[in-house]
Each structure stands twice: as C-alpha cells, then as structure tokens.
Amino acid sequence: MITSKLPQVTPSIFSVMSSLAHEYQALNLSQGFPSFPVDAQLKELHIKAITDDKNQYAPMSGLPMLREAISIMTQKLHKTFYNPANEICITAGATQAIFTAIQTVVHRGDEVIVFTPAYDCYIPAIELAGGKAIEIPMNLPDFTIDWNIVEVRINNKTRMIMINTPHNPSGSMLSHEDMLQLQDLIVTHDLFLLSDEVYEHIVFDQQEHLSASRYPGLKERSFITGSFGKTFHITGWKIGYCLAPKAMMEEFYKIHQYLVFCINHPAQVAIAQYIQEEQRYLSLGSFYQKKRDLFLHSIQDSKFSFKPTQGSYFQLLNYSALSNEADVDYARTLTIEHKIASIPISVFMNGTDPKMLRFCFAKEDHEIIKAAQILNSL
Ligand code: PMP
Ligand code: GLN
C-alpha cells in the first residue's frame, strides 16, 4: 500500500461543490471563476500566437516582454522596481508560484505561520516541504489579524509568514498599520514572507491594495504571487507570476526549472501584448464593484447578514437567521434543494463554523439577479 504524504487531504471543496452544482444543475457561485466570456481580443492574441508558431518551450523564467510588463506595472502601482532579468518568474498560476516559493525556503522542521481561514493549497504545500503550518485564526467577524498573537507564536523554528490580501474567502484587506506591524516582526525575527496578492486589482470603495513590495523591510524578504487567471478572467489558462529579490529568486528558479521548466508559450505571448494597455487591469476594481453592489443591493431584504467585501470577487453571507445547520450541510442543502451553490468556509479554518457561506459574484448580471432571487426566497 502507498503511504500517503497527505493523509488528511480529501478532494478540494472547490471540486466538491462545483460537481454538486453540476449534478443538481444549480447556479454555481461556489468555485471562484468568471462565467462571462473572455475579451475577444485576448482570445485572438492567443490564437495568433499559436498560428505564428510560438509553440515551443518558452524561456525558463518567462517571456522577457511579459516580465518587463509586470515590472512596469509594479513600478507604476507600487513605486518599486523588480528587475525583469532576475527578479520575476512566470508560473503555472499562483498555485505553482506558492508551491515553489514554499519549497524554496522551507526546510524539514521549519514552521510557517498561516492565518485561517487559509486558501486551501497553503498548508499541504508546507507539509510536503517537511514544514509545519502554525495556524493562527483571524479575528471574527472582520477577519483581522492580531499581531501580538503572531509575535507570541514566533520561535527559533519559524521560517516564514504567509499573508493573503485581499483575502480569500473573507474579502478583508490588510491596512497600512497591519503592514507596518508585519514588517516589524519580519525584520526583527529575520523571517521570510509569502504575500499572496492574486486579487491585487480587485479592490473596492476607493481603497488601495497595499502590496508587500511597498514596504522595503518586507520587499527584501518577500515572495509575492499574482494570477492572470484572476486579472484577465482566464482561470483555465493557469498562468501567474512570482516576484522576489534576486538572491531569493535565484533559488526559486532552481526549483521552478525542475518542477515545470517553463510556462505555456502562446499564452505568455498573448498576455504580454494584452497587458500593455493598463486600463485592462486598472478598470478591474470598478468592473467588479458594480457586480458586488448589484449582488448586495439585490439581497438587502433577505435574511442573510453581511458586510460588503473590501476586495476579491467573493462575498461572505451569514445565514444564522435561516438555519442552525453546519455550513457544509447548509451549502449542500442550498445546492440540492434551492439550486444555488456556494462554499462553506469552515473547511479553511479547521472546522470552526461561523455560519458563513462564500458566494462568488464574478458572474453575468442576470446570474447575480437570479442568485439574489433564490437567496431572497429563503
Ligand atoms: N491564492 C488565492 C487566494 C486564490 O484565491 C487562488 C485561486 N485563484 C490562488 C491563489 C491560485 O491562483 P491560480 O488559479 O492562478 O493558480
Ligand atoms: N481560487 C478559486 C476559489 O477560491 C478556486 C481555485 C480552485 O478550484 N482550486 O474558488
């Protein structure tokens, strides 16, 4: 018999809920992906790249034109420079960037601090590297971090802290105060930071996304991950990137080259051209804010309670006025009996169940309205 390296792991909740939605023909607001079509121009660029025979291996760290575009974007948004030659890597989605960054720094016995609810790929990746995840629950109901507790949990085995802002599943964002406190801990205890920023452009209500790259003490110790899947509505292309200072990226490349070597070449060609028009990512916040507002406006008279999400394309809804069921069961009930699928968040927080479900509003407006009708009828 094979000895499992991940004995606790079961199929991801995203696969489970998406299949259930499919089986019961429910409106699928569970797994996070857009339901609307990708921009025709991006599709044409991809097709053209294939027709132009950009079909062989790409450079190991990514297409130079794409790395340059990311460097320019980061300079514009965060006033900080990453050298496209040796501080940027194109990856197979943020998932591979996260896995590779963890493999790069975590040695057997090292501890990595993660905040729960945590995106599902973090802890297995730490364990596969021989590390131990130290889970610190975020403070509810606002999903904030108590940095005093973090300090208490740091010891001589602590190697890295992982953050995710804007946060999946809660949509909370770290403030300038948070980033300063984090910087203090990272510098004082000489730790690494993995900052998962896949929702960097999806922020609402005139707020600013505070990238770890803006804080010099963080930048020099951080891997930062991004996802074109989120930014350009192409989750199925599985393409993202990682930023890190040269010495850290050198080690990252060593693992990247044997994990995947390089990333889908025609997709890189297409994105490298598409990203040149900055409005394509700068307009994402207002694009999704309209969808968030439509969703929340449409369910304002329902029995769900909520705080408007600050960033990401997820909205948590508290259903305690409707049911005492555990969130996993209630999510099933809603899918099977009411034909609307969501994600129960207890699976990201060791079973703690604040009676909240996560709904993805990256959907066509008519689907958002349909979803609201169902939720209002409960
Ligand atoms: N981190 C978070 C917080 C996510 O929500 C996701 C899902 N997009 C990922 C990482 C993985 O991104 P990708 O699909 O680019 O691998
Ligand atoms: N990031 C997506 C979400 O949070 C899911 C990605 C996946 O299915 N692994 O819903």
End of a domain among 231, 252, 277? 277
Going from the Cα of 46 to the center of ligand 2, the distance in angstroms, rounded, reads 23
SS3 assignment for 239-297: CEEEECCHHHHHHHHHHHHHHCCCCCHHHHHHHHHHCCCCHHHHCHHHHHHHHHHHHHH
- Residue 56: the pLDDT is 98
Give the ligand 1 atom nearest the CA of 228.
15
End of a domain among 227, 262, 277? 277
Question: What's the distance, Cα to Cα, between the start and end of the chain in Å?
Answer: 47
- Mark whether 203 and 225 lie in a shared domain: yes
Going from the Cα of 32 to the center of ligand 2, the distance in angstroms, rounded, reads 5
State which H helix or E strand residue 364 sits in.
none
Does residue 169 have a cis bond before it (omega within 30 degrees)?
yes
Residue 48's SS3 state is helix
Q: What is the CATH number of the domain that holds 355?
A: 3.90.1150.10
The reply to whether 88 falls in a domain is yes
Nearest CA to ligand 1 atom 5: 168
- Mark whether 82 and 230 lie in a shared domain: yes
Number of domains in the chain: 2
Nearest CA to ligand 2 atom 8: 14
- Residue 153: the pLDDT is 98
The reply to whether 45 falls in a domain is no
Which tens digits make up the pLDDT trace of 98-142?
A: 999 999 999 999 999 999 999 999 999 999 999 999 999 999 999
- Distance from C-alpha of 210 to C-alpha of 165, rounded to nearest angstrom: 8
The reply to whether 187 falls in a domain is yes
Q: What is the CATH number of the domain that holds 208?
A: 3.40.640.10
Return the ligand number nearest the Cα of 14. Answer: 2
- Residue 237: the pLDDT is 98
- Mark whether 193 and 303 lie in a shared domain: no
End of a domain among 246, 277, 308? 277
Q: What value does the mean pLDDT of the chain take?
A: 98
- Residue 71: the pLDDT is 98
Lookup: tokens for 145: 């971090």
The reply to whether 357 falls in a domain is yes
Question: How do 158-164 and 192-196 pair as beta strands?
Answer: parallel
- Residue 345: the pLDDT is 97
Going from the Cα of 203 to the center of ligand 1, the distance in angstroms, rounded, reads 16
Cβ < 6 A, ligand 1 pocket: 32, 93-95, 119, 164, 168, 196, 198, 227, 229-230, 235, 240
- Distance from C-alpha of 182 to C-alpha of 162, rounded to nearest angstrom: 11
- Residue 39: the pLDDT is 98
14 CB near ligand 2 (under 6 Å): yes
Strand residues in the chain grouped as ranges (E) = 27-28, 88-91, 111-116, 132-137, 158-164, 192-196, 222-227, 240-243, 314-318, 340-341, 343-344, 356-360
Which tens digits make up the pLDDT trace of 191-210?
A: 999 999 999 999 999 999 99
The reply to whether 245 falls in a domain is yes
- Distance from C-alpha of 368 to C-alpha of 126, rounded to nearest angstrom: 36
pLDDT lower than 70: segments of the chain: none
Going from the Cα of 278 to the center of ligand 2, the distance in angstroms, rounded, reads 25
- Distance from C-alpha of 342 to C-alpha of 345, rounded to nearest angstrom: 9
